[in-house]
Amino acid sequence: MIFRIVFLICTTAVLVCHADNPENNSLDGEITRDHRVTEINLNRWFDHYLPLIKKYMAMHNMEPMSLPKMSLPVPDIPGFKPKVELNNGLLHGASNITRSGNIIQRVYGELVDVDMQLDWKELQVDYDYSLKYFFYKRRGGLTGKFGHLNVGVMGSIDFKSRKVDLRYLKIVDAGDFSLKLRGHLVDPVANAGLKAVTIAFRKRMLREMEYQMNAAAQLKIQEVNNWLADQTSIPIPHLTDELPEISL
């Protein structure tokens, strides 16, 4: 399962820090307490398992990913509370994930932190819209595109309590954003309305995507913690050139 990939990456630190004791290869043993901080580059592990992560996302309805309904007020257009209703939202490209830098693991005795920057080159958002303005109504579709998206993530695992935790997951940079209308392309009111909500839509989508990512991550972390709680002993593979294979 996908959460075992997370666990395997985290436990790499134990293998490296305790490589001089090959017999201690499970989490039912004691981990030495000291004040050393050991940093480990996990790029090779992440790159190795990235195709599996993408496959998992496609298999579990994350590509495309459903987005919630939303309602946006239309500024700069006079009238009685003009607004755009958005329905049937889909996010495309969530599985086109790469790392934008090194994935670093830091070991503090029994506590391990994993710090990473993830990147999406292009994300597309599709919605059906309904624009209401006095007695005027228009329906159609819209497509929003982010040139790229960079997300910072830090997670930790406490080997004493056998608990994985998400320290933070935050969108730290978003590229250019464009919004295009599908249908009623020459309708001046519809075009003016959609143009007016572009900035609000971008902010709302970034906030929504960050929320969805956090929710998905917390769900997987809960699976990790439930799995860890059920194990009496957790074998860890030795650190070799051959990375262990995982089946979905």
pLDDT at 62 over 50: yes
Is 44:238 a contact under the CB 8 Å cutoff? no
All residues at 6 or more sequence positions from 65 whose CB lies less than 8 Å from its CB, including other chains = 90, 91, 94, 212
Q: Which helix (H) or strand (E) holds 70?
A: strand 70-73
What 3-state DSSP class applies to 127? Answer: strand
CA angle 231-15-245, nearest 5°? 70
Give 157-166 pLDDT, tens digit per residue.
887 888 889 9
Each residue's pLDDT tens digit, 191-227: 666 677 788 888 888 998 898 888 888 888 888 888 8
